[in-house]
Amino acid sequence: MPTPRHPGQITSRCAPERGAPLPESEPVTARLRDPGELAAVIPMLLGYHPSESLVVVAFGGRSGNRIGLTARADLPEPPEYSELADEVACSMLHDSPAGAAVVVVSSEGRGSPPHRRLVDHVRSRLDDLGIEVRLAIHVQHTGIGAPWRCYGPCRCGGVLPDPADTPFAAAVDGRDKIIHPDRTALEHIVQPADPLRIRRRELLLIDAADAEIAGTGIVTGGDRSPIVLPVIDPDIGIAALDTAIAEMAETAEADSMSIEMSAEMSAAASALPVLDDHTVLALATALMLPEVYDAAVLRCLGHDADVVEMLWAALTREMPDPEAAEPAGLLVFSAMLRGDITLARIALDRVDSAWPGYPRAQFLRVMVESALRPSAVRACAGALLSDEHAGPTS
């Protein structure tokens, strides 16, 4: 088990958050009839409705019109305009775009579009990198009917259409995609559960560590098959992992739940799956074993990947720190395999808060910051196995 147990969190300026590039197998050409259609589909690109945000969408591919990487950042104070513009412009290089669109989402600016100097900084930085800014608009929010206005001399404007009626939505089957009201809904997926329950498990893990030093162990299980903690036998650990996956599959089938639906339901904590002490404590110690961790990585690549991802999210909520960093890191990997970079970043923040200095954190961070496509993430899976933590190249 990782020691010592300590609070703390890495504090640093966050790089722009990126939405998922569209799958390589299904490139979508931007057949957008006006700027409002682009703003309307931003929630489909990010997975949620942004607010008070700078959003930059890359265009690339052979046609130069394929919608690619989407970067989002909180709107900064004016003294930080230049720094953020540098970060956003550099983030675009991961997708080798031919052009880009700049969208400011802000409730400000009922007269002229706000944050014009920020847009000018971004335009200048992108131009320096050979990336043409094809449009720059302000929108008060990304809901249907929101007014938008152009930052250009044309001063054109309009209102946002229903995104489901756009050619882009039809191309990516956007009608079936769950869009969350804001980023907070996704954050609930990994936020620690009931503090008293977490504390009880923390004390049991401490007792297990003391018992291991004494050469004994503590038994958990209740009415279930007992397991001696800490789990030090890889076969027992893998069996506990597979049992937990099977039980999560039963829960998901009974509730018709997916990882995206769990975010949709997260406002009501009681709607999220709750794991028992037996499962949490067994996996808290078992995932520290290389053989069990390797098995967990491989389960992310299997046919039950969606259920496995739900298990990582549940363990991240239900497990004490610093042990919670292990399932949170696996959640980063699982989310990246789906192309959900927003959830991956949120899970990575949970890794950092649970265990500052977590050994696999740098590998995971490079994966997220490089905005790797799912096929590239799958190809990098071997780097997570057997403590091989060399990161992928961007």
Q: Read off the pLDDT of residues 34-65 as tens digits, 9 standing for 90 and up.
A: 889 999 989 888 878 999 999 999 888 777 77
Q: Which residue has the tokens 């880009």?
A: 100
Give the least confident one: 47-61, 253-267, 352-366.
253-267
> 226 versus 352: which is more confidently predicted?
352
Could you tell me if 234 and 289 are in contact, meaning their C-beta atoms sit under 8 angstroms apart? yes
Is the confidence at residue 273, as pLDDT, over 70?
A: yes
Q: How far is CA 229 from CA 167, 201, 232, 267, 350, in A?
A: 55, 12, 8, 34, 25
Instruction: Supply the pLDDT for residue 171.
Output: 59
Q: 198-207: per-residue pLDDT in tens? A: 999 999 898 8
| Structure confidence at residue 7 as a pLDDT band (50, 70, 90) | very low
Instruction: Supply the pLDDT for residue 258.
Output: 52
* Top mean-pLDDT range of 30-39, 187-196, 351-360: 351-360
Q: What is the mean pLDDT of residues 21-27?
A: 44
Is the confidence at residue 392, as pLDDT, over 50?
A: no
Is the confidence at residue 341, as pLDDT, over 70?
A: yes
Instruction: Supply the pLDDT for residue 300.
Output: 95
Instruction: Supply the pLDDT for residue 167.
Output: 75
Q: Which residue, among 152, 182, 138, 202, has the nearest Cα to 5 in the 3D structure?
A: 202
**Identity of residue 165:** D
* Top mean-pLDDT range of 89-93, 211-215, 359-363: 359-363
> 393 versus 280: which is more confidently predicted?
280
Q: How far is CA 153 from CA 64, 81, 124, 136, 157, in A?
A: 24, 22, 17, 11, 12
Instruction: Supply the pLDDT for residue 59.
Output: 87
> 93 versus 270: which is more confidently predicted?
93
Please provide the DSSP assignment of 38-96 as one string: HHHHHHHHHSB---SEEEEEEEETTTS-EEEEEEEEE---GGGHHHHHHHHHHHHGGG-
Strand 66-74 to strand 147-150: parallel, antiparallel, or no bridges (unpaired)? unpaired
pTM over 0.85: no
Give the least confident one: 9-13, 126-130, 204-208, 226-230.
9-13
Instruction: Supply the pLDDT for residue 265.
Output: 43
Instruction: Supply the pLDDT for residue 195.
Output: 93
Could you tell me if 320 and 283 are in contact, meaning their C-beta atoms sit under 8 angstroms apart? no
Q: How far is CA 175 from CA 6, 139, 168, 169, 178, in A?
A: 45, 22, 11, 7, 8
